[in-house]
Amino acid sequence: MDDLGHPVWDADNHYYEALDAFTRHLDPAHGPRTVQWATIDGRQYHVLGGKVSRAVTNATFDPISKPGCLSEYFRGNPNNVNPLELIRDHEPIRPEYRDPAARLRVLDEQGLAGCFLFPTLGMIYEEPLRDDPEAVCITFRAFNRWLADDWPFDYQGRILTAPYLTLADGAWAVEELEWALDQGARMIVMRAAAPTTDTGRCSPFDTRFDPFWARVDEAGITVVIHAGDSGQSSNGYAVDGFAANFRSGGFGPSIKSFHIEEAIHDYLLSMTLSGHFKRFPNLRIASVENGAEFLSDLFRKLRSQDKKMPGWFGEDPVEQFRRHVWINPFWEDDLDTVVELMGADRVVFGSDWPHIEGLAHPLDYVPETKALSPEDRQRVLHGNAVALAAAQMR
């Protein structure tokens, strides 16, 4: 930070959930519908809604793959290494993955002013439970209470942790949002997917959810749409299910590699097409760990619809999008192009630390900003994230 002349804020960090993250505040009677532990052949697995989850190979996270162990693969795999070999290089779980005081010490070592903190398992457990909307809500209410225990939503102004919300039940979402606001949350996190409700799947921008979005709009809290299990279908071209390729013990190119960007593309495009920003003019949406290559196509489609239905958006839809949405590119994306598309005041840096596909050292990203002006670099590496997390009206 001294060399840069300004602080750096990492807008995409993760914790690894404690063993009782989903069960500490869960009535055991709900276990069969929600989350339980099972030991199978000497290994521990989560059981979600009565089905064994193999979305991760070790849900205890001990041992765990090293941070950023796949970074060279995502950079282009210059050594032609099988990524499964890199993942198998394990170490004991580190204190900073589960303890805020230890994490703060690591932030100092990494040269970071602060970070946004998001779930690991929490981002992939709504989809397996989606056909039981009540169970989804029970699960994540218990999860959020654990989170408030172990990771205060604002830890010394430097670690800002987002509770997870779902629209599986609109009334539940309003209640949980009010609780999060009372707990001092600066942001909430959701997945890029249409929720399944008690009447079936429904757009998150349907008017039935207006009370939730109206409260978000009033509070001014940032909604982070983070990569996770969106339930995106391969339509028969590949085996569906989160991390299915890794679970089968093989790896190769697949249409599944594009699911994250397809999910956020559909989510943000639907949000804009529905007139959501016109109805809720104070919304602030941050897309985190979803990449940015979808932007050009999304903007093309918005402009096409604007020509076909003049007046629908009430203004240039691309400018409307840019006013309400912040983008965290993948660290391997072309930053210059993203800044050109969104504007330097709507791009935030995130390392995805300590996940395997992230950066081993967050400040390794700094060279990617070399083409930016000093002012724009400061915005991307610090100012924009801090502005998103600014204390909001309650």
pLDDT digits (tens, 9 = 90+) for 16-32: 999 999 999 999 999 99
DSSP H or E stretch at residue 48: strand 43-48
The tokens describing 334, both together, are 């072309």
Q: Which residue do the tokens 């007139």 mark?
A: 275
Q: Name the CATH superfamily housing domain 9-23+106-388.
A: Metal-dependent hydrolases (3.20.20.140)
Q: In this structure, how many other beta carbons lie within 10 angstroms of the beta carbon of residue 333?
A: 16
Tell me what the mean pLDDT of segment 275-288 comes to: 97
pLDDT-derived band at 1, boundaries 50, 70, 90: low
Residue 251 scores a pLDDT above 80: no
Q: Which residue do the tokens 């958006």 mark?
A: 313
Give the strands of the sheet with 325-327, arranged side by side: 187-191, 222-226, 285-288, 325-327
The tokens describing 388, both together, are 């998103």
Residue 245 scores a pLDDT above 60: no
Query: Over the range 147-182, which residues count as b (16 or more CB within 10 Å of their CB) and which as e?
Result: bbebbbbebeebbbbbbbbbbbbbebbbebbeebbe
**Coil/strand/helix, residue 244:** helix
Query: Over the range 362-377, which residues count as b (16 or more CB within 10 Å of their CB) and which as e?
Result: bbebbebbeebeeebb
Q: In this structure, how many other beta carbons lie within 10 angstroms of the beta carbon of residue 94?
A: 18
Q: Is this prediction's pTM over 0.85?
A: yes
Residue 394 scores a pLDDT above 60: no
Residue 257 scores a pLDDT above 90: no
